[in-house]
A = this chain, B = another copy of it.
């Protein structure tokens, strides 16, 4: 407890795993602990250095990869959040001239969302910083270890994709 009080970041979900638990559960709780820790750090730095949030960064990242623009439903699907959130974030980014809604090329009732030239410049700076942070945060692993981890996670992902997800009405995190 004393150690946790001094280092609150060390009190994490992994404390749940005790020795008699199955290896898979121990792996999962450690995976979750590492991911949560890195994600929190990224959120904190986006806020501290760019006064922005991870959902905003993720939305701009998707647009950066789609110069032709994306419809709101495409954005929602790629971001795995509810349409309402995507609309709210898009509204805020549009108010800051970072994204723009433009007419859909074929469906005149719809529109697509694109980064503005200014949004593209802002995102490029954030993306470069984000990559530096990740390189630093994952720096505890050498290139060979990272490469091995990458391939291990590929097999995990393949296994996860091989079965249909449990239906849920609540797709948002």
Contact = CB atoms under 8 A, between A and B. Distances in A.
B134 A80 contact: no
A92 interface: no
Contact of A135 (B5, B22, B160): B22
Contact of A30 (B10, B16, B38, B157): B157
Given A12-B80, A80-B12, A131 B22 contact: yes
A30 B156 CA distance: 10
A165 to B, nearest CB: 5
Interface in A29-44: 30-41, 43-44
B48 A168 contact: yes
A52 interface: no
A108 B150 CA distance: 52
Instruction: Please tell me the size bucket of the interface on A.
Output: 35 or more
A172 B7 CA distance: 17
Contact of A161 (B10, B45, B48, B74): B10
Contact of A158 (B140, B147, B158): B140
A115 to B, nearest CB: 14
A152 interface: yes
A22 B132 CA distance: 9
B156 A152 contact: no
A78 B18 CA distance: 15
Interface of A: 1, 4-5, 7-16, 18, 21-28, 30-41, 43-45, 47-48, 58, 61-62, 65, 74, 77-78, 80, 130-131, 134-135, 137-141, 143, 145-150, 152-162, 164-168, 170-171, 173
